[in-house]
Structure 1
Amino acid sequence: MPAISSARRRIPRWSLRLAAAVVSVCALAGAVRLIVPATAGPTGEPTGVRRQLEFLRSALDDGAADEAQRLFPEGYFFLHALYGLSWVELGLREPAAERTVALREARWALRRLDSPSGRDPFSPDLVPPYGVFYQGWTNWLRGGALSLQPAGQRDPAALRRFAADSAALGRAFDASGSPFLAAYPEQAWPVDSTVAVASLRLHDTLLPPRFAGTVDRWLQDVRERLDPSTGLIPHRTDPVTGEPIEVARGTSQSMIQRFLADIDPAFAAEQYLRFRDRYVVTPLGLGPAVREYPDGLDGPADVDSGPLPLGVSLSATAVTLGAAQVHGDAPLAGALANYGELAGLPIGTPWTKRYAFGLLPIGDAFLAWSKTARPWVARTPDPPPATVSWWWRMPLLSMLFVVGVAPWVVARRRRRRTRAGTR
Structure 2
Amino acid sequence: MFPEGYFFLHALYGLSWVEIGMREPVGDRSTALREVRWALAKLDSPSGRAPFSPGLTPPYGVFHRGWSNWLRGGVLSLQPAGHRNPGEARRFTRDSAALAAAFDTSRSPYLEAYPGQVWPVDSTVAIASLRLHDALLPDRFTETVQRWVREVRGRLDPRTGLLPHRADPDTGDPIEVARGTSQSLIQRFLIDIDPVFAGEQYLRFRDRYLASPLGLGPAVREYPEGMDGPADIDSGPLPLGVSLSASVVTIGAAQVHGDVPLAAALAGVSELAGLPVDTPWTKRYAFGLVPVGDAFLAWSKSARPWVAKAPPPPPAQISGWWRVPLLSLLAVLAAAPWLPTLVRRHRRHRRRT
Identify the TM-score tier after normalising by the shorter chain: over 0.9
SS at match of 1:151: coil
Q: What is the match of residue 346 of structure 1?
A: 276
Whole-Å separation in 2 of the counterparts to 1:107 and 1:418 = 69
1:95 matched to 2:15? The reply is no
Per the alignment, residue 285 of structure 1 pairs with 215
Aligned to 2:39: 109
Alignment gaps of 5+ in structure 2: none
Match in the other structure for 1:188? 118
Structure having the higher Rg: 1
Letter in 2 for 1:102: A
Which secondary structure state, in structure 1, belongs to the residue aligned with residue 192 of structure 2?
Answer: helix
State the alpha-carbon separation in 2 of the partners of residues 420 and 249 from structure 1.
58
Determine which structure has greater relative contact order: mean sequence separation of CA pairs < 8 Å that are 6+ residues apart, divided by chain length: 1
Does residue 134 (structure 1) correspond to residue 64 (structure 2)? The answer is yes
- d(CA) in 1 for partners of 2:97 and 2:348? 81
- Does residue 159 of the first structure (1) align with residue 89 of the second (2)? yes
1:245-394 to 2 correspondences below 5 Å: 245-394=175-324
Deviation at 1:105, TM superposition (A): 0.7
One-letter amino acid of the counterpart of residue 307, structure 1: P
Instruction: Normalising by structure 1, report the TM-score.
Output: 0.81
The aligned counterpart of 1:231 is: 161
Please give the residue correspondences for 1:53-92 in structure 2 after superposition, counting only pairs within 5 Å: 71-92=1-22
Cα distance in 1 for partners of 2:244, 2:64 equals 24
Q: CA deviation at 1:420?
A: 8.8
Q: Residue 154 of structure 1: CA displacement? A: 1.3
| SS of the residue 1:269 aligns to | helix
Q: 116, 122, 143: which is aligned to 2:52?
A: 122
Identity %: 73
Q: Offset at 1:421?
A: 9.6
The answer on 1:240 being equivalent to 2:170 is: yes
Query: How much does 1:419 deviate?
Result: 8.2
**1:140-179 equivalences in 2 (<5 Å):** 140-179=70-109
| 1:199 aligned residue | 129
The one-letter code matched in structure 2 to 1:331 is P
Provide the C-alpha distance between the structure 2 equivalents of 1:376 and 1:420, rounded to a whole number of angstroms.
Answer: 67
C-alpha displacement of 1:99: 1.2
Which deviates more, 90-99 or 265-274?
90-99
| Structure 1 residue ranges (4+ consecutive) displaced by more than 4 angstroms after TM superposition | 415-422
Q: Deviations over 1:88-114 (max 9, x none)?
A: 011111111111111111111000111
Kindly state the Cα deviation for residue 412 of structure 1 after the two structures are TM-superposed. Answer: 3.0
**Are 1:216 and 2:136 matched, yes or no?**
no
1:157-203 residue CA offsets vs partner (Å, 9 max, x unmatched) = 11111010000001001111100000111111100000000000000
Farther off after superposition, 88-97 or 197-206: 88-97
When the two chains are superposed, the root-mean-square deviation of aligned CA atoms in Å is 1.5
Code of the aligned partner of 1:187:
Q
> Residue 22 of structure 1 aligns with which residue?
none
Aligned-partner Cα distance in 2 for 1:298–1:401: 32
Q: Which amino acid letter does the alignment assign opposite residue 330 of structure 1? A: V
Gaps of 5+ in 1: 1-70
Whole-angstrom distance in 2 between the partners of 1:419 and 1:212: 80
User: Which range is displaced more, 101-110 or 412-421?
Assistant: 412-421
Amino acid in the other structure paired with 1:81: A
- Whole-angstrom CA distance in 2 between matches of 1:263 and 1:380: 13
3-state SS, counterpart of residue 152 of structure 1: coil
Deviations 1:350-396 (Å, cap 9, x if unpaired)? 20100010011111111111001100000110000000011010001
Amino acid at match of 1:199: S
Aligned residues: 353
> How far is the alpha carbon of 1:145 from its aligned partner?
1.1
